[in-house]
Amino acid sequence: MITYARKDADADGAPEPAADNEHIAPAPRISVQAFCETVETAAAVQAAGEDRRLAKAHLKIQMGGMVAAIEAYKNAPTPNVIVLETEGGNDILSGLDELSGVCDAGTRVIVIGRMNDVTLYRELVRRGVSEYVIAPVTTIDVVRAICTLFSMAEAKPVGRVIAVVGAKGGVGASTVAHNIAWSIARDLALDAVVADLDLAFGTAGLDYNQDPPQGIADAVFSPDRIDTAFVDRLLSKCTDHLSLLAAPATLDRVYDFGDDAFDSIFDTLRSSVPCIVLDVPHQWSGWTKRALIAADDILIVAAPDLANLRNTKNLFDLLKGQRPNDRAPLYCLNQVGVPKRPEIKAAEFAKAIESEPSAIIPFEPQLFGLAANNGQMIEEIAKKHKVSELFVQIAQRLTGRTEAKKSRGSLLSPLLGKLMKK
Ligand SMILES: Nc1ncnc2c1ncn2[C@@H]1O[C@H](COP(=O)(O)OP(=O)(O)OP(=O)(O)O)[C@@H](O)[C@H]1O
Ligand SMILES: [Mg+2]
């Protein structure tokens, strides 16, 4: 199907991140060859190839447009996707006719052109072109055009991965991750899975009052068995919409993983669960870095002191650099207002990071201590507490969903609300 691509390139060609609530699923291991006419388009395609969503794809770019493409495939097999830039009108169609003679079945063609013309679209559709994008194109336009070809073909619901990490150990990253996942499931009624990646010491099982016999270790140590059914069996159900992929929290083995050890688990979860919250331990290794870079969204949890500030800044800089086509990470300040403790003010923190915190969560030892010891969420023990509202807010911000589930009130509540206002 051809979609009209948005024409949102800005004048200086600066990277244009995807809209906050836009979700572009990563492309599978495909081969892509682009034939460009202009250096601007070649640069956008090149940058797209470096985007996290195309990390698995193999991309080759050359200049010469249609003519070069026809020449290239006379004697060579065609890749999964051909991206063709063309500056002309009618010659696109004759070129495509010629190309179709040498195209293998299953190859999809994306055309980047300058003409915004319905008759042309129709003719392109008739010739089996998958997508027509109007130049000038931004990096994210190219990423979107390639990735949607595959998410549509598989027609699977594709999950969004939210990685939560602490700027320092013990700042409450896991607590925040578990509470927002709970809120995503309960208040936003979105199916969610929490993956506890702190295999040795993870507390998700304790926090949700679960002691499942199996969990994430069974998956990561049996890479050959991973598929949806297998991972499904490892999940333990916490609430209607929330499941847990628990950490063993045992020390009988060590957990040194290769960079891509979790890739297939995340891919499998993405194919069947709308929202996956990763509780990423505070450590810097190949696989934690990769989990953060590959996530759809990142939440950094920081306490208001100097070390947290420095680490948050470093994480921001690294992640923004590695994810130029994504919105910046979000962060929240936690454990704010410990009595007698000198703290860095939220405004100063925000100035240094050049970004406002998504929430400022107060230090509430009684509330958090009770929740932790009871294996309950904050909202379960103090629904009306400000902290519960903060978790809902962060959940909304991260998922791009602003509407909380309405069915929790009675059927009459909208009506009552109106009457009360009078
Ligand atoms: N806002 C808060 N007020 C009071 N206590 C809190 C708050 N947030 C978290 N805590 C408590 O801080 C402790 C550490 O929390 P948590 O285990 O979530 O941190 P973490 O950053 O995941 O730590 P680790 O680095 O070990 O993974 C827990 O006992 C938790 O209940
Ligand atoms: Mg933790």
- Mean pLDDT, to the nearest integer, of 360-369? 98
Ligand at shortest distance from the CA of 371: 1
Q: Whose CA is nearest to atom 13 of ligand 1?
A: 172
Mutate to test the pocket of ligand 1, among 164, 175, 182 (most ligand atoms within 8 A of CB): 175
pLDDT above 50 (res 105): yes
pLDDT band at 132 (very low <50, low <70, confident <90, very high): very high
Mean pLDDT across the stretch 167-196? 96
The three-state DSSP-derived secondary structure of the chain is: CCCECCCCCCCCCCCCCCCCCCCCCCCCCCEEEEEECCHHHHHHHHHHHCCHHHCCCEEEEEECHHHHHHHHHCCCCCCCEEEEEECCCHHHHHHHHHHHCCCCCCCEEEEEECCCCHHHHHHHHHCCCCEEEECCCCHHHHHHHHHHHHHHHHCCCCCEEEEEEECCCCCCHHHHHHHHHHHHHHCCCCCEEEEECCCCCCCHHHHCCCCCCCCHHHHHCCHHHCCHHHHHHHCEECCCCEEEECCCCCCCCCCCCCCCCCHHHHHHHHHHCCEEEEEECCCCCHHHHHHHHHCCEEEEEECCCHHHHHHHHHHHHHHHHHCCCCCCCEEEEEEECCCCCCCCCHHHHHHHHCCCCCEEEECCHHHHHHHHHHCCCHHHHCCCCHHHHHHHHHHHHHHCCCCCCCCCCCCCHHHHHHHHHC
Mean pLDDT of 87-91: 74
Ligand 1 centre and the CA of 176: distance in Å? 8
Least confident of 148-152, 212-216, 320-324, 378-382: 148-152
> How far is 52 from 35, CA to CA, in rounded Å?
22
Average pLDDT over residues 277-281: 98
Beta strand pairing call for 275-280 and 58-63: unpaired
Q: Considering only CA atoms, which of 389, 399, 383 is closest in space to residue 360?
A: 389
Instruction: Return the higher-pLDDT residue of 412 and 380.
Output: 380
* pLDDT at position 402: 65
Residue with the smallest CA separation from ligand 1 atom 25 is: 169
Of the listed ranges 11-15, 35-39, 135-139, the least confidently predicted one is: 11-15
Task: Please say if the pLDDT value at position 158 is more than 80.
Answer: no
Residue 371: is its pLDDT beyond 50?
yes
What value does the mean pLDDT take over residues 313-340? 97
Contacts of 398 (CB under 8 A, 6+ apart): 162, 180, 184, 297, 299, 330
Say what the pLDDT of residue 340 is: 97
Res. 11: pLDDT tops 70: no
Residue 155 has pLDDT above 60, yes or no: no
Q: Which residues line ligand 1 (CB under 6 A)?
A: 166, 169-175, 198, 203, 281-282, 334-335, 361, 363-365, 368, 372
Smallest-distance ligand from the CA of 372: 1
Q: Is the pLDDT of residue 249 over 60?
A: yes
pLDDT at 322 over 80: yes
Distance from residue 174's CA to the centre of ligand 2 (Å): 4
Please give the share of the chain, as a percent, with pLDDT higher than 70.
Answer: 88
List pLDDT tens digits, range 328-338: 999 999 999 99
- Measured CA to CA, the distance from residue 368 to residue 387 in angstroms comes to 10
In the predicted structure, residue 156 carries a pLDDT above the cut 60: no
- Cα of 332 vs centre of ligand 1, distance in Å, is 13
The answer on pLDDT for 153 being more than 80 is: no
- C-alpha 312/C-alpha 309 separation (Å) is 5
Contact 352, 308 (CB under 8 A): no
Residue 251 or 102, more confident: 251
What local confidence, expressed as pLDDT, does residue 20 receive?
A: 65
Residues having C-beta closer than 5 Å to ion ligand 2:
174
Task: Reply yes or no on whether the pLDDT at 245 is more than 60.
Answer: yes
Ligand index nearest the alpha carbon of residue 172? 1
